[in-house]
Chains A and B, each alone.
Chain A
Amino acid sequence: MGTLKIDRVTVRHKEKVSIKNVSFEAEKGEIIGFIGADGAGKSSLMHAIAGVIAFEGEVRFDQHAYRSPKEAEGVKSLISLMPQGIGLVLYDLLTVDEHLRFFADIRNVPQDEAYHTYKTRLLKMAGLEKFREFRAGNLSGGMMQKLSLICSLLHRPKLLILDEPTTGVDPMSRIELWEILDQIRREEGTIALVSTAYMEEAARMDRVLLFDEGEIIAQGSAKELIESVREMTYLRTPEAPEGTITTLERSYSLLPLSAEHAEPTLESLFFVNALRTNRAPPPVEITRRDSEENGNPVLMEAYSLTKMFGPFVANDRIDLQLKRGEIVGLLGANGAGKTTFIKMLLGLHSIDGGELKLFGRAIRNTDDRQALKASIGYVSQHFALYNDMTIRENLLYFAAMRQIPIDTALKRISRYASELGFSNYLDSVPTELPLGINQRFSLAAALLHEPAVLFLDEPTSGVDAIARSQFWELLSALKEKWGIAILITTHYMSEAEFCDRVVLLREGGKVADDTVANLYALHPDARTFEDIFREYYR
């Protein structure tokens, strides 16, 4: 089995060029990481290599050369593609076992002794052997992705193309996914092309390709790439001159700064590239809000909150306090009960046990819940936007729902638009915009009624590095200027470090609730927050 050679491949979507003249090569057993902002063309290139989209140029794999999906038919038995989206290729109503049988059948895999041994091994590696009779629709996101991966490995492909397999997946499942991938490529000599939004993952790959606007702008091992931006990376300097990007941790500048250099990461590549192409995002500024704050420092209190779905305990006696000017990170594996908990706090789920207090007043009846909703802002996992209305119309609609007078609403919309940086997009519809912009304007929609508490459910999932860092700056500015309390869930362990306090859920129960510094003190061996997370899930 030979090598993969991509020769001047171009992919067009109607008039738009998604990938232009890209070439690279990969050796047997190599894992190649694709990183880049969304819309940079990573998926298009993967689709072209998998032979599922028309392209120009030539792909050569093994002995086959192909220039169109039709010519690629011959190599499809050697390739596997796992497209972007959790459980995208799974059938909700089929069980795990039925999936394996289906994928083996359509790939014409003889179901002999060797196959069954291999299948059992894959199931075991994925931790799915106990769930063989479960329907895919009832699995957690992490399990769905593991199932998709083993389904795409059944025919022992020589080229594995994985498009963001870990986006929206919890850290434990991510680790398992990587273990499977690593073993398989070692044993089978499979070439794996993997795109990812997690830079910790990219750092583990043999080679990383950085995509920007349809081109590969840098490639090499993670180490080489990181070295290339060491010169431009500094410790955070708030009073930096023009032409500097400052994030919560670091500052980047092409010109030398007087500040001390910081240790760069793969994320630094994005910022340096933004500086080079003159696309540096404007600095974040938030003005104080209209409404006055009241004195009580504790905004929301939950005592022993419990939620049952039939016999299943989704949330088991969880206590939580949200104080003014505090960002609390709610972490846990897929299915640990984070979303359920937030929905209970929101009044979207009934409370099966325990008590919820807002501003020291218990929430008991429908009127209380109404009051609760009026002082909470919520951004759901899937931004609840109307795709047929422009951003401005969306925001006006949300304002009307909150019964905000029209002149106040217009004033706030224009202020948020400029402060959150989407004023250029007010008259576009959400489907035309990158995820990062939609994320910010969903935040604006949740802030229109100037809530005291803000709930964010995986707002940064799938959003690129720069947009994420900007988002966190926004949150920290909101916290300081507005004195707002923020409860946020995320699968990026690096983001946990930006939280004032972290609450860890496991199987519906709370297993940790402390500041990041205290947690590091409790676990002296941990190098990153991911290590701490793993401690609690052992």
Chain B
Amino acid sequence: MKIGVIKAYILKELTELVRSRFIIMVYLMPSMILFLFGYGIRMEVTHARTLILDNDQSPISHQLVSKFEHSKYFDVTLSSVSEDEALRRIKRGESDLIIIIPESFEKRLLHAQPTQIGVYVDAAFPSRGVTMENYVKGVVLDAASSVAPGLAKGIIQINQRSLFNQAMRDEDAIVPGLIGLVLLVAPAILAALLIVKEKERGTMFNFYASPVAKAEFLSAKMIPVFLLHSVNIFIVFLWAVYLFEVPFRGSFLLYWIASEFYIIISLSIGMLISIITRTQIVAVVLTVIITIIPGFLYSGIIMPISSMIGMSRVEAHIFPVMYYNHILYDVFLVGEGLASAKTQGYLAILALYGAGLLTLGSLLLRKELK
């Protein structure tokens, strides 16, 4: 390895990145993805437009209605339209939720007779529908327990407590997953471009026809990506903790080291792609497909890996995202750190994964024309 050669190449890459203004992309893209998805994905539902038909007009029904009115999850409109009209409003997209309190609701309750509340939920988006339905159940049970403590006690006590994410904040659940996505996509794209650019332009001949060794060429291409994106590890951390106010309960050192391994994996993916492609556009599209889809699917944002079955479970274990995300959620929300054998194992897997891909890439890269 001739250090002078590597230095010359790195200087050239950095000069080009700055002059082509691509450097802006290097630092803008990760933060952009974080902002777009971080603010864009909402699992919880607030301000559901709720139409309540109170056909009973009794103290108890009023109490129930006021429970809804005082919740941030519902924007209540009381109305005395017919049921048909109410349903039409859901169809027209004017309401998300209809609650119908039947006549003699109070009377039946006081006589301990079973009674029913009609709840219609717009479930065009199933997960949103399910969420609203659960909220309604919660409010009704809560109201019931306060109206008739004796009746409810022991039978319909609800005591939900979410672990690790007590506040049930979306940001806490989504932002660490996004870091796993961002740090997979961005270094891969840059690494792929740095090699393919030379192939497309013809400057690859400078490598082919000179005594520059493969290891020197690869180091010269990988080191700038690695260094530039290492800065992003800190940038996305700052956004997560200070902008999205995600708690950080674990060791920063663990976060840092795992992220560096992860970046090595990502840039190796980019390098592998640049070996099989010939034009920049194909390289970018391929990198985006190969990294964004698994980065998103297996990030734990949409569904946890533990609830995956069959093929998707196997795939999740093949891609590196799962291992890194486990560590991410640990350092942000749990804080067990290396005390957990699973985290130790996953960190080792990341290191091996990176070393494996890097070796594969350097074996496949050829110093000759096809």
B368 contacts which chain A residues (CB < 8 A)?
A: 51-54, 69
State whether the Cβ of A50 lies closer than 8 Å to any Cβ in chain B: yes
Q: Given the known inter-chain contacts A47-B369, A108-B2, please indicate yes or no for A91 contacting B16, CB distance below 8 A.
A: yes
Check if B4 sits within 8 Å of A76, measured CB to CB: no
Contact partner of A91 (CB less than 8 A), chosen from B2, B12, B210, B369, is B12
Complex Cα spacing A69 to B208, Å: 9
Distance of A47 Cα from B16 Cα, bound (Å): 28
| Chain A residue with Cβ nearest B12 | A102
> Which residues of B have CB within 8 Å of A88?
201-203, 205
Q: A52-B208, A54-B368, A108-B4 are in contact. Are A94 and B9 (CB under 8 A)?
A: no
User: Which chain B residue has the least Cβ–Cβ distance from A83?
Assistant: B205
A105 to B209 CA separation, bound complex (whole angstroms): 14
**Within residues 67 to 88 of chain A, which ones have a CB less than 8 A from any CB in chain B?**
69-70, 73, 76-77, 79-81, 83, 85, 88
- Tell yes or no: A129 within 8 A of B by CB: no
CB interface residues, A 94-125, toward B, < 8 Å: 94, 98, 101-103, 105-108
Please measure, in the bound complex, the distance between the C-alpha atom of A76 and the C-alpha atom of B16, giving whole angstroms: 26
* Contact with A93, one of B19, B209, B211, B369 (Cβ below 8 angstroms): B19
Query: Which of A69, A94, A107 is close to B16, meaning CB atoms less than 8 Å apart?
Result: A94
Known: A89-B202, A91-B203, A102-B12. Contact between A50 and B2, CB under 8 A?
no
Q: Does B128 contact A (CB under 8 A)?
A: no
The answer to whether A93 and B20 touch across the interface, beta carbons within 8 angstroms, is yes
Question: Cβ of A81 and Cβ of B4 under 8 Å apart?
Answer: no
A70 surroundings in chain B (CB, below 8 A): 367
Contact present for B203 and A81 (CB under 8 Å): no
Across the interface, do B12 and A98 meet the contact criterion of CB distance under 8 Å?
A: yes
Looking across the interface, which residue of chain B has its beta carbon closest to that of A110?
Answer: B4
B206 at the interface (CB under 8 A from A): yes
Size of the A side of the interface (Cβ < 8 Å), in residues, is: 31
Whether A106 lies near B16 (C-beta < 8 A) is: no
Given the known interface contacts A93-B20, A94-B12, A98-B12, the answer about A77 and B211 at a Cβ–Cβ threshold of 8 Å is yes
A69 to chain B, nearest CB (A): 4
Complex Cα–Cα for A101 and B7 (A): 11
We find that the number of chain B residues with CB closer than 8 angstroms to chain A is 25
Contacts of A73 in B (CB 8 A): 211, 367
- B164 smallest CB distance to A (angstroms): 48
| B201, chain A: closest CB distance, angstroms | 8
Residues of B within 8 A of A90 (CB): 203
Report whether A89 and B8 are in contact in the complex, using a CB–CB cutoff of 8 Å: no
Q: Any chain A CB within 8 A of the CB of B26? A: no
A 31-62 to B, binary, CB cutoff 8 A, 1 in contact else 0: 00000000000000001001111100000000
Q: Which of B12, B15, B201, B211 contacts A108 (CB 8 A)?
A: B211
Closest A residue, CB atoms, query B369: A53
A69-B367, A93-B20 given; A107·B202 CB < 8 A: no
B residues within 8 A CB of A98? 12, 15
Indicate if the CB atoms of A106 and B5 lie closer than 8 Å: yes
Which residues on the B side are within 8 Å of A93 (C-beta)? 15-16, 19-20
Q: Are A89 and B211 in contact (CB under 8 A)?
A: no
CB distance A89 to B2 under 8 Å?
A: no
Q: Which interface residue of B2, B19, B367, B368 has the most chain A CB atoms within 10 A? A: B368
**B209 and A81 contact, CB distance less than 8 A:** yes
Write out the residue numbers on chain B whose beta carbons fall within 8 Å of the beta carbon of A102: 8-9, 11-12
B212 CB–A CB distance under 8 Å: yes
| Chain B residues, Cβ within 8 Å of A101 | 8
A105 & B8 in contact (Cβ 8 Å cutoff): yes
Does A105 lie within 8 Å of B4, measured CB to CB? yes
Chain A residues whose C-beta falls within 8 Å of the C-beta of B19 in the assembled complex: 93, 135
How distant is A189 from chain B, measured CB to nearest CB, in Å?
A: 20
Which residue among B4, B208, B210, B367 has the maximum number of chain A CB atoms within 10 Å of its CB? B210
**Are the C-beta atoms of A51 and B209 separated by less than 8 Å?**
yes
Q: Which residue of B lies closest to A52 (CB)?
A: B208
Which of B20, B202, B206 is the one whose CB lies under 8 Å from A106? B206
Instruction: List A contacts of B11 (CB < 8 A).
Output: 102
Q: Which residue of chain A is the closest to B206 with respect to CB atoms?
A: A89
Q: Which residue of A lies closest to B213 (CB)?
A: A73
Measured in the bound complex, the distance between the Cα atoms of B20 and A135 in whole Å is 12
Residues of A within 8 A of B7 (CB): 105
In the complex, A76 Cα to B207 Cα: how many Å?
A: 10
B106 to chain A, nearest CB (A): 75
A14 vs chain B, min Cβ distance (A): 9
Shortest CB-to-CB span from A137 to chain B, Å, is: 10
When the two chains form their complex, are residues B210 and A107 in contact, meaning their CB atoms are under 8 A apart?
Answer: yes
Which of A52, A54, A108 is the one whose CB lies under 8 Å from B5? A108
Contact A52 B205, CB 8 Å, known A91-B16, A98-B15: yes
Q: How far is the CA of A54 from the CA of B369 in the complex (A)?
A: 8
Cβ contact within 8 Å between B205 and A81: yes
List residues of A whose CB falls within 8 A of some B CB.
47, 50-54, 69-70, 73, 76-77, 79-81, 83, 85, 88-91, 93-94, 98, 101-103, 105-108, 135
Give 25 A-B contacts (CB < 8 Å), ordered by A residue: A51-B368, A52-B369, A69-B367, A73-B367, A76-B209, A81-B205, A83-B202, A85-B202, A88-B201, A88-B205, A90-B203, A91-B203, A93-B15, A93-B19, A94-B12, A94-B16, A98-B12, A102-B9, A106-B9, A106-B206, A107-B210, A107-B211, A108-B4, A108-B5, A108-B211
- The interface of chain B, by Cβ under 8 A from chain A, is 2, 4-5, 7-9, 11-12, 15-16, 19-20, 201-203, 205-206, 208-212, 367-369
Other 15 A-B pairs with CB < 8 A, given A52-B209, A105-B5:
A52-B208, A53-B369, A76-B209, A77-B210, A80-B209, A81-B209, A83-B202, A83-B209, A85-B202, A88-B203, A89-B205, A93-B20, A101-B8, A102-B12, A103-B206
